[in-house]
Structure 1
Amino acid sequence: MDTYPSVDASPYQVFGAHPSTSGWVFSTPSGLRCQASLIADLGVFCTGPVPGTRGDVDYVAASLTRPGVLTRSDIGDLAGDPFPLLPTGAKIAAGNGVECAVISDDGLACLAKKPDSWSPDTPAPPDREYGEHGFVVRAQGSWTF
């Protein structure tokens, strides 16, 4: 992730009625529509055609507390206004612990970890474990961690 230049996150920022619906949104050249939550524990999720997966996979997500997933979702596409395009070769790192980079025209990599603003010894809540989780999606194959 360190090799990709960061975009200015402010054009991607959205404000919802609740902090869980606030954060940053972007689209990728391959048609994914993604939202990174202001709340670090919620991480990032994307809907749309997920490259490198079987045809019915339309949802990919990861967070500080959950390993990445590739699955079929019934939430549908993130509707509404078009999301600003995150260009190929750039990343968004808004300070919430989530970084996503468009690694190719058909690829996206996202990493969710403790925000840099948190102390390294910040304890996890009793019902969750903090960790570094993410996903890589691209036509040659997709995976999560």
Structure 2
Amino acid sequence: WFNLTVCRSSEAFLPLSARRAFLTDGTAALFALPIMFLISAGILPVWAAFFMAMALYVNAFLHIGEWIKTARYSPGMLTSLLLIIPGYTWIFSFYLSRALVSPLHIAIAFVVGILMNAVFYAFLRKWSSMTPTTATAN
């Protein structure tokens, strides 16, 4: 779905093959897990988690935007509508109401979330342009 709809590829396995999807998810986990550990250990401040959370929050709106734009089901759309957007909105409100983060932290995290998504999609476009159309599932 991602390759055919989002990347508008004529190949179902390009640019994001199973191997590349594993590499992008694995790379994200390599960054996410140590950051979560450092936050839970009290080494990093709580607002540091908002950068990763906001990237997911922004991505949820991208899923909904894709659904509206194409008028077709978008994987992740139901999860975004039912879980991510309400859940993260509540989490952000909780931390704001207890002054654990400031509106400035949320705003900065929002900008970082947009940038993280932009970098991800730019990376996929670069992969798409580098991949020959005759390749299958690299």
TM-score relative to the length of structure 1: 0.24
TM-score relative to the length of structure 2: 0.25
Q: Which has the larger radius of gyration?
A: 2
1 or 2, which has the higher helix percentage? 2
Which has the bigger relative contact order, CA under 8 A and spacing at least 6?
A: 2
